[in-house]
Structure formats: C-alpha cells, structure tokens
Amino acid sequence: MDTEEFRKALRAGKIEPVYLFLGPSTFLMGEAWNKLLSALLPKAGGRFNGERLQAKETEPADLIARLAVVPMFGGRRAIMVDNVEAWGKGPLSAVEAFVRRIPASACLVMTASSRKSIEGLAKAVEAKGKVILFRSPGEREAPRWLVERARQMGKTLSNRAAFLLVETSGTDLQTLASELDKICTFAGERDRIEPEDILEAAGPHRTFSAFDLLDHIKGGQADKALASLRSLVLSGELPLKILSTLAWQIRIVWQVKDGLRQGIPESQLAKRIGAHPFVVKKASEQAGRFSDAYLYRVIEAVGQTDIAIKSTGTSPELLLEDLVLNLTSPDVGQETTER
C-alpha cells in the first residue's frame, strides 16, 4: 500500500489493527500517524488512548500487555513504536506472534527504515494489516509535494515559487513544511503564492546577509565572510540551508551574467529566470566582478561541502567555515579574477 491508498482507506473508515511504516521519511510517517489518530477518535462519548514510543526504550512484553487490554470506555487503543529494527531477534519474534492474533480493539503502528532486518515481522503485518512505504521526495519531486501541500492549505503555490523554495531550503520535508506555513501566513487572504512572496517572507536581513556573504567571499575578506556566516547561523539558519542558498545565488549570478552578455535587460531576465527583480539587480551588480572560472570554483566547492556535511561526522558549522576560508584565500582570488 502506498501513502495515497492509506489516506483513501482512512477517509473510507477502513482502519487496520496493525501497520508497518517503512522508509526514510519520519516526517511523512508522523503526519500519517496524526491522520490515523484523527480517524480513530470516537465520535461521541468514548475515551481514546494514543501513545508514541521508541523501540529501544520499550519492552515488547509491556507493549503487548497494553494492547491486549480492551479500553474500558470503548474506542481503540493505538500505539506507535518507532525504529523497531532496534529490537533483537527474541523481542521481534514475540511481537510477530502477537501481531498474528492482535485484537480488534488495538491499533499498532510500527516504523522502520527498511524491512531488511525485520522480514518476519513485515510478513506478519501483511497477513493482518498493511505495510506502507514512505518515500522522501528528491529535488524533482519536492516542488510537486509543496504545490499539493499548499493546495491542502487552501493556497495555490506557483511552480516557480515551489522550485525557489526547494532551491533555498533544500528537500528536508520538516523544513519545507515549516517554511511553507510561514509563507502562507505571510500571504494572508491571497490565494496565490509567487516567488516574490517567498523572498519577501524571508525578510530583508536574511537576503542581504546571504548576498553579503558572497560579496565578502569574492573580495577575499575572510573575517567579514566568517562574520556574515556566523550571523546567519545565530539567526537560526541551518548549515545545509545556508549552503543551498549560496548555491542558488551563484546560479542566479551565472544566469544573470550570461543574460547580460546576450544584451537581455534586467526586467526581462527577472521573468526569464523566475527571480525577484531585487535579486536580479543584486546579481547584476555582482556579475561583472565574478568570472566564470570563479563561479565554477565556488559551485564545485559548495558541492564538496554538501557531500561532507551529509557523509561525515564533522561539525557542519566547521565545514562551512573551512569552505569560506578556502574560497577567500588569496590564491583563489588571483586565479579567478575577471579579465
């Protein structure tokens, strides 16, 4: 069963006694759990019990005992257990046996990143309930996810605005959902959200600080670049978001630089690349100072830092500082000066 089939089943009132949520997207699993709880709420007078636990902190015997007891005041007892891969062979066998005879008054939800180490449990769930796969959207799917989420919130998010939000915020769903909530609040009663709404909702301080960071990097001003970086971190920006924003700005500068070489006016460039006129104006000011070689060097270094943040245990803040120091070194500036 996929997530859409799961939602349709809930709307139809079809609730299984046991579910296994599989995949990397804990955010989507959390939302599915909340929808399940809403569907399980008694319509009148009943009492509802819902708990969310961690497998490594939960004894299967205690879990089974709680689910085996019929709620005194009716309704169903629902428990969600995260990361059941943490259970060893013995505990998993006990839960598998319980799943095969789970009472109708129970609703057990378990989560795991994959079924590789819990194949027996997955088969037991398939026999009595449903296994649901939750996939995290990538860069191509995330904009569509945002457009659909905005629609559910009563807003129309343009495709350009969705792509811009992914460019500046990354693909983490928790971050995207939080940013979209803020943007919808900013939009107020307006139904449609465009790229300029995203830039304006971000606030001038964030925009100017990020552009300043790029200016200081190109100027070889390590102390000022580090100060801008730390300002962004202290203001609550996540390291990966700072990195993705920097990459987005470099791509904008590159597009504006190429457009200006072709003689395209700034006003037309704004529409052509789907950027706010302010962003195009700022990028235009920087374009003449940045050679193609320099922009390539920066985007390559940003990509390497992105991989390091996601694959090593090194502090993301330290990796960003290393990136800034590397790009502000005199040798880099001399090699990439526009001629």
Mark whether 152 and 229 lie in a shared domain.
Answer: no
Mark whether 47 and 107 lie in a shared domain.
Answer: yes
Mark whether 116 and 231 lie in a shared domain.
Answer: no
The CATH number linked to 30 is 3.40.50.300
Last residue of a domain, one of 173, 202, 231: 202
Mark whether 214 and 272 lie in a shared domain.
Answer: yes
pLDDT digits (tens, 9 = 90+) for 6-58: 989 998 889 999 999 999 888 899 999 988 988 887 554 444 457 889 999 99
Reported as a pLDDT band with limits 50, 70 and 90, residue 238 is confident
Q: What is the pLDDT of residue 268?
A: 85
Q: Which spans in the chain are helix H?
A: 3-11, 26-40, 60-68, 89-100, 119-128, 142-152, 159-169, 173-187, 195-202, 204-218, 222-234, 239-261, 266-273, 277-287, 292-311, 316-327, 330-335
Q: What is the mean pLDDT of residues 3-8?
A: 88
Mark whether 210 and 318 lie in a shared domain.
Answer: yes
Total domains, the chain:
3
The CATH number linked to 212 is 1.20.272.10
How far apart (Å, rounded) are the C-alpha atoms in residues 27 and 241? 18
Task: Provide the mean pLDDT of the chain.
Answer: 83
How far apart (Å, rounded) are the C-alpha atoms in residues 305 and 316? 9
Mark whether 197 and 104 lie in a shared domain.
Answer: no
Last residue of a domain, one of 133, 151, 175: 133
- Chain CA centroid to CA 300, Å: 23
Q: Residue 21 forms beta bridges with which residues?
A: 111, 132
Mark whether 274 and 309 lie in a shared domain.
Answer: yes
What range does the domain containing 52 cover?
3-133
Q: What is the DSSP string of 138-160?
A: -TTTHHHHHHHHHHHTT-EE-HH
pLDDT digits (tens, 9 = 90+) for 66-111: 898 877 666 788 999 999 999 989 999 999 999 999 998 899 999 9
Q: What is the pLDDT of residue 102?
A: 93
Q: What is the pLDDT of residue 19?
A: 96
Mark whether 173 and 232 lie in a shared domain.
Answer: no
